[in-house]
Structure 1
């Protein structure tokens, strides 16, 4: 039997940085509990349970008020675990779904009533076997009337081939983890300049300035990440989101301390205004527009 992965810090520190009131962790996940919400038979990793109680305890420990829970690839297109976490959040969580392109309109409406506000398309070959762009575009067209956005996850080496697909999406787009640039190239490196050109092409493309633990090859304290990303936050302040990525899917090595991740925020958003936009105004506008 495959050993289940523990990919999160067992005792995250209380951060020195205090997020502004109403701050949102806009990119996190839940795993299981497996006994109640089995993992997909196509899952590329098998994590230990990391359910809503753990997530909400971490939220409070880190000083955040709300969560945006992104459907984890290990659960495939069965969004039950994510919906369960949203239902237990007392209105303090919204979600991003992963769906089978054949999903019915009534099923999409049920997801909406359950708190989903976006749909995610994953193009990482190590996590998914198939990413049919034509079917994804049809899904994007169908969720548009619900007011949903589309979250797209890809790596920097396929950015150019993704452009036509992204151009055809009719909704607001959020790019996960800035399309995973090589941050060691710096703010004017090839990957970051290519990504900036994508943002400049459409004003309704947003991004998550997340995952220094994944993107900075030098490791903690993630100085290369801060150097490359801070100018992006300054230049596109109304189109950036931040999240922990807890429980750090498929990371068996160098599991980050979530408190240290929060302490990174002033390095990429050094002013109170930038911090408020990154952590409060932007995620509330996208996920709680009526608040």
Structure 2
């Protein structure tokens, strides 16, 4: 471990809960908004984890790769104890496919709905998908403008699904914590079933604003640190020139949080949520989860 990593309060078990890996030449989604013209491989990413005291990480399927999760699953196989995955799937995906992904270290699905027509999450086949997600003990990760989050969170909670909200809830950068969607998000802190990633602040904050400090303080007040998780958002797609891995982490470290709060946000909560604290969690319970899914058909 290098000098930087050894100086961090979570140096032996930090968790980066939001990163992406990809290469040029992979099949792209026809509905993509953007595709980077560079590679961001596991070999590029792991040294950053090591340098910043991160022993574990969660890989999230990037939107431009659509529902082809093959590259992400290969990365999980290469570092099965260190990594977990969040995939993007079609709502009518089969139970056998979900069970296979579970065995391979996937712990949730992502609904990346930025600039997309909102689906009716209370209708089939979505409801069946969410029921299967709940049976597996997975979660649904939401990425959408803050103003649209509440109805979707409501539908998910009705199905008994744990919810993770991306990037501070994505408030309007011009409004920050005054965004009514962000204010509505705070109300879900009392449910005990919603988590928020303090990540990607540059996607939802005006440069030089006090957003990170203000938003983090309000999220801690309403959710507690046991419902907050840090993510680097590496490789910071479309913001590569304005930030870095170290700066993303420093945005949190520089807030001067109590050591216990920082430990919870960067380590303790995520170790439990993504089942890193249970040895070989996915392989051990996969057969039982598969059987439960099959009974539900």
TM-score, with length taken from structure 1: 0.83
Kindly indicate whether residue 159 of structure 2 is the aligned counterpart of residue 159 of structure 1.
Answer: no
How far has the Cα of 1:118 moved from its partner?
0.6
How far has the Cα of 1:199 moved from its partner?
2.2
What is residue 242 of structure 2 aligned with on the other side? 255
How far has the Cα of 1:253 moved from its partner?
6.7
What is residue 240 of structure 1 aligned with on the other side? 228
Kindly indicate whether residue 86 of structure 2 is the aligned counterpart of residue 99 of structure 1.
Answer: no
> Does 1 or 2 have the higher relative contact order (CA < 8 Å, sep 6+)?
1
**Could you list the runs of 5+ residues in structure 1 that have no partner in the other structure?**
1-13
What is residue 29 of structure 1 aligned with on the other side? 20
What is residue 176 of structure 1 aligned with on the other side? 166
What is residue 32 of structure 2 aligned with on the other side? 43
Match of 2:126 among 115, 136, 145: 136
Match of 2:188 among 179, 184, 198: 198
What is residue 229 of structure 1 aligned with on the other side? 216
How far has the Cα of 1:24 moved from its partner?
0.3
**Maintained 8 Å contact 2:145/2:172:** no
Kindly indicate whether residue 108 of structure 2 is the aligned counterpart of residue 121 of structure 1.
Answer: no
What is residue 68 of structure 1 aligned with on the other side? 58
CA RMSD of aligned residues (A): 2.5
Distance 1:191 1:229, change over 3 A: farther
Question: How far apart in 2 are the matches of 1:286 and 1:157?
Answer: 26
Q: Deviations over 1:259-291 (max 9, x none)?
A: 111112234461110111111111111112415
Distance 1:56 1:194, change over 3 A: same
**Could you list the runs of 5+ residues in structure 2 that have no partner in the other structure?**
280-297
How far has the Cα of 1:181 moved from its partner?
2.1
Matched ranges for 1:272-291 at <5 A:
272-288=259-275, 289-291=277-279
Q: Deviations over 1:34-70 (max 9, x none)?
A: 34x4322332212222111111122112221111001
Number of residue-to-residue matches in the alignment? 270
**Maintained 8 Å contact 2:16/2:231:** yes
Match of 2:202 among 213, 217, 221: 213
Distance 1:160 1:243, change over 3 A: closer
How far has the Cα of 1:170 moved from its partner?
1.4
How far has the Cα of 1:138 moved from its partner?
2.1
**Maintained 8 Å contact 2:85/2:108:** yes
What is residue 287 of structure 2 aligned with on the other side? none
**3-state SS, counterpart of residue 54 of structure 2:** coil
Match of 1:112 among 99, 102, 113: 102
**3-state SS, counterpart of residue 65 of structure 1:** strand
How far has the Cα of 1:252 moved from its partner?
5.1
How far has the Cα of 1:104 moved from its partner?
1.0
Distance 1:269 1:241, change over 3 A: farther
Q: Deviations over 1:200-243 (max 9, x none)?
A: 3x111111111121122124xx5322222223225411101110
**3-state SS, counterpart of residue 58 of structure 2:** strand
